[in-house]
Amino acid sequence: MHLSANEIKEVVRTEELKKYYPLGTHTVKALDGVNLTVKEGEFVAITGKSGSGKSTLLHIISGLDTPTSGQVLYGDTDIHHGSDRELSAFRRRKIGFIFQHFNLLPVLTAQENITMPLLLDGRQPDEAYLQEIAAFLGIDKRLTHLPHELSGGQQQRVAIARALIAKPDIIFADEPTGNLDSKSGCEVMRMLCDLRRQMNKTLVIITHDPRIAEMAERRFTIVDGTLSEVTGK
């Protein structure tokens, strides 16, 4: 059975999202009234030049930064209207994040890095699920290695596994191939896309690479803090 677009559950919605920064005597509008709805299972790509506001948008939607005004709604919950502790707990359970620079802890093994979000939440990892995603990502034989013993591509695969380990509702990726060579970047994106399809995960990615943006089902551009959807090819 296929659900119509109106029947698919929305995962996150922003309403008139604004983010302003003071710069000397001026005010920089990083985001200027952004409205975006992402539905379950969608792959959304956001592109824009450096300084356009795309990273700011991703960080606010994922709870890493706060807006000047506007709302970020997961269901009926505005994630920026609770305590920092509540937001942190929500992020650990509901949101996966993949960073450009991996952000792995150097003194922890790959497996310890992957399971860290669960341990911070007082939960034990599902070992079968951990092995399943590690095998899919080709790092099942690297779980006891420290980050410096892994290639850049392998480190990013560890970061992807970490983003998936809590079985989040949505995954955000900030230039996930930006720190990789072309070959490793293509492999990482192929694995990420395959995993997303198999697990029916919602993925929002920001990228400067048009080839990656074209993999997405919906594409947006952001210019001077204003978001627009790209229609057609």
3-state secondary structure of 86: helix
What is residue 233's predicted lDDT score, i.e. its pLDDT?
58
Ranges of residues in the chain whose predicted pLDDT is under 70: 1-7, 232-233
Residue 129: enclosing H or E segment and its boundaries? helix 127-136
What is residue 2's predicted lDDT score, i.e. its pLDDT?
47
Pick from 162, 233, 232, 217: nearest CA to 45: 217
What is residue 7's predicted lDDT score, i.e. its pLDDT?
66
Domains delineated in the chain: 10-230 (3.40.50.300)
And the tokens for 223? 């210019």
Contacts of residue 213, Cβ cutoff 8 Å, sequence gap at least 6: 45, 47, 207, 219
And the tokens for 178? 């930006």
What is residue 5's predicted lDDT score, i.e. its pLDDT?
53
Residue 14: enclosing H or E segment and its boundaries? strand 10-23
Pick from 64, 66, 70: nearest CA to 14: 70
